[in-house]
Homo-oligomer: A and B are copies of this chain.
Amino acid sequence: MQIDPDRFLSDLKHLRSIGACGTGVVRPAFSAEDIAAREWLAGRIEAARLSAHVDPAGNVFGLAKGRSLLIGSHADTQPEGGWLDGALGVIAGLEIARAAAETGGPPISMVSFQDEEGRFGALTGSDIWSGATTLEEADQFSATDGTQFGTARCGLSHLMQDHFVDPGRFTGFLEMHIEQGPVLDQAEEAIGVVTAIVGLRQIQVTVVGEQNHAGTTPMRARRDAFQGAARVAVLLAERMANVVVPESVWTIGHLQLSPNASSIVPGQAVFTIQWRDGEADRLDQMERVIEPVLAEVAGETGLEITADRLRHDLVPVPMDAGMQAALADAAEVVAPGRWRKMPSGALHDASNVSRLMPVGMLFVPSIGGISHNFDEDTRDEDLVTGLEVLAKAAAALG
């Protein structure tokens, strides 16, 4: 098959111009632009000799005949997000499926999943398709403006079919995505072959001390909750360094002092600790660092420190070994010495699809590591390199 880089780049830029992504506007239900973008995509699918199928969740498939490899991502973005997060994988899937259908190649289908960024849920479209959520449950999901998913998807009813695509018709799923981090860009590499989508654990730590007057309470009589929180943060940085690999991350991103007034010794500090890694064993190891740090600071300071799980753990999702090999082989041909294996620190639709079939992912660089931001960008040559690697892997797998 013969892919067409110009058509790929032109379609990718056109989708943005319609406003389906990168508009920077929080849209009421699905706006006219959102609907127009899906209508345009369905038209491009038909023009590519594929069969358009918009399912009841609003996932847009372009189906090849018979059993096929599926390639895609999502076309929605964050309110102030850029033009590539999601759309890149969708248009790459479209171009490769078109090239396969028009110029001779294995049967390849494409997909644009609904609401990956979580205006209503999070990964809503692939959640529903993979059975993690029912359509009835998802219909109750609300956007921050109160709009329910069930109401919003009615705006697409003229495009929808009444049934879901049978996952059994696909042999596997490939997703191309921007890295959304700085690793490839800083290393001046072109391709990341994803080994796993990392797991995530998160606790909320509550430090209870004693709220006191900041003028009349001697230092030795204080039980200052912020001093405890600060000590946890500094100790954690020291101790984590001993157990993690370069791909492991942990973050204290949210902290709230109480009463949070400059003349009052803080009586309480509540903060999150979140940690991510591609391997469940290492998530365990990191957890085994955190617990003694909390106990040690509590012991030294007389503060009461407790930890609660805030959300369900996300388990790491390893990518299929055969798909990793196909992507790695293709990368070595297209961009020799300019690719690496790496985990994905962010969640993707591929996590959900892995419940249904083997999945693989590849990354292209994000300039400056910037994403979820109008400034998100990738050089055209890197986008095309990604397309070529993806096409070569698809040809090998098909």
Contacts and interface: CB of A to CB of B under 8 A. Distances in A.
Given A233-B227, A234-B234, A262-B202, A218 B249 contact: yes
A116 to B, nearest CB: 15
A180 B263 CA distance: 14
Copies assembled: 2
Q: Which of A186, A212, A214 has the most CB of B within 10 A?
A: A214
Interface in A190-232: 198, 200, 202, 212-221, 224, 226-227, 229-231
Interface string A248-288: 11111111110011111110000010101000000000000
B276 A221 contact: no
A257 B254 contact: yes
A247 interface: yes
Contacts of A79: none
Contact of A249 (B179, B214, B372): B214
Nearest to A182: B221
A215 B200 contact: yes
A246 interface: yes
A171 to B, nearest CB: 29
Given A226-B255, A255-B257, A257-B254, A198 B215 contact: yes
Contacts of A257: 253-255
A369 interface: yes
B253 A255 contact: no
Interface string A334-356: 00000000001111000000000
Given A218-B247, A221-B369, A257-B255, A272 B276 contact: no
Given A226-B233, A230-B229, A231-B234, A216 B253 contact: no
A77 interface: no
A114 interface: no
Contacts of A183: 218, 221
A27 to B, nearest CB: 22
Nearest to A216: B181
A396 interface: no
A372 B231 contact: no
B213 A180 contact: yes
Contact of A230 (B212, B230, B250, B253): B230
Interface in A70-84: none
Contact of A237 (B227, B248, B260, B262): B227
A175 to B, nearest CB: 15
A214 B249 CA distance: 7
B237 A251 contact: no
A217 B254 contact: no
A245 to B, nearest CB: 10
A357 B47 CA distance: 93
A59 interface: no
B262 A254 contact: yes
A371 interface: yes
A178 to B, nearest CB: 10
Nearest to A275: B214
A229 to B, nearest CB: 7
Given A216-B344, A251-B263, 4 more contacts: A198-B215, A214-B276, A227-B233, A251-B262
28 contacts: A181-B216, A181-B221, A182-B218, A212-B369, A214-B251, A214-B253, A214-B276, A215-B249, A215-B347, A216-B345, A219-B250, A226-B253, A227-B252, A230-B231, A230-B233, A230-B252, A231-B233, A251-B263, A252-B266, A253-B260, A253-B263, A254-B262, A255-B255, A255-B257, A255-B260, A256-B260, A262-B310, A263-B274
The 9 closest A-B pairs by CB, nearest first: A181-B216, A215-B345, A230-B233, A216-B345, A262-B272, A214-B251, A230-B230, A254-B262, A180-B216
